[in-house]
């Protein structure tokens, strides 16, 4: 009988993680140029996706009832997996509320009225949008016609949101929650953006200290 004297799992070494996706961020002008080349029903899509950071399979599954204008959020309650709509469990971190900026709301307002589907971004004839068909028939021709530099992937709309949020001073913890992921994943995929985002920390701390000093001076004068 032979005996294993060493742990095969240790011999295999640590699990190799795939390399982080390269970060491509669209400018405002690029987004507008892409939107101008898409058909009327999908022109608002790149603006909305870049303003919310939703995954493609999440905005595929969005319905009009998910938009809460009074609260100023869109509720992410379901996703698309293998061409099927899937309800997210309440414990799933992807199930969340995403704030709607003025640009996101303007994109929703620009959508043409549809009576044949409750989806925000339905297939041309109604029903669930097929992402592969959309990429082939709408996205790629729009990228080519717009002259936007490539690569220009649909998923880069999510990276654009992350970049804008970090530039605006949104914390990594807030960003992870809004994007439905972990702080670790934000750091892994957007590490280069984080390096730039730290540049304004000293200025924000200085501004906070200055405000605190002014309040202290005012209080001292009234005592």
Residue 193 has pLDDT above 80, yes or no: no
How confident is residue 16, by pLDDT bands cut at 50, 70 and 90? low
Residue 157 has pLDDT above 80, yes or no: yes
How confident is residue 143, by pLDDT bands cut at 50, 70 and 90? very high
Q: Mean pLDDT score of the chain, rounded to an integer?
A: 88
Mean pLDDT, residues 169-198 taken together? 85
CB atoms within 10 A of CB 157: 27
Q: Which two tokens stand for residue 106?
A: 């303007």
Residue 132 has pLDDT above 80, yes or no: yes
| pLDDT in the model for residue 169 | 85
**198 vs 80, higher pLDDT:** 80
CA trace torsion 173, 177, 183, 188 (10° rounding)? -120
CA distance 103 to 160: 14
Share of the chain above pLDDT 70, in %: 86
**Is-contact 88 76, C-beta < 8 A?**
yes
How confident is residue 4, by pLDDT bands cut at 50, 70 and 90? low
Mean pLDDT, residues 121-131 taken together? 94
Mean pLDDT, residues 188-199 taken together? 71
| pLDDT in the model for residue 82 | 93
How confident is residue 108, by pLDDT bands cut at 50, 70 and 90? very high
Q: Which two tokens stand for residue 72?
A: 């100023």
């Amino acid at each position: 009988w032979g005996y294993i004297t060493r742990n095969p799992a240790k011999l295999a070494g640590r699990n190799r993680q795939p390399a982080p996706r390269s970060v491509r961020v669209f400018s405002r002008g690029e987004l507008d140029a892409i939107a101008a080349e898409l058909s009327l029903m999908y022109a608002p899509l790149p603006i909305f996706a870049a303003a919310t950071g939703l995954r493609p399979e999440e905005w595929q599954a969005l319905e009009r009832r998910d938009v809460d204008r009074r609260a100023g959020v869109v509720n992410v309650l379901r996703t698309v997996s293998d061409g099927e709509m899937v309800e997210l469990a309440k414990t799933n971190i992807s199930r969340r509320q995403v704030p709607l900026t003025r640009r996101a709301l303007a994109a929703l307002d620009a959508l043409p009225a549809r009576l044949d589907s409750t989806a925000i971004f339905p297939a041309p004839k109604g029903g669930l949008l097929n992402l592969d068909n959309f990429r082939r028939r709408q996205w790629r021709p729009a990228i080519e016609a717009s002259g936007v530099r490539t690569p220009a992937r649909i998923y880069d709309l999510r990276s654009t949101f992350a970049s804008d949020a970090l530039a605006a001073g949104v914390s990594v913890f807030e960003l992870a929650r809004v994007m439905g992921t972990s702080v670790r994943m934000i750091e892994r995929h957007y590490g280069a953006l984080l390096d730039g985002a730290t540049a304004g920390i000293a200025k924000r701390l200085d501004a906070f200290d200055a405000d605190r000093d002014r309040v202290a001076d005012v209080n001292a004068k009234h005592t």
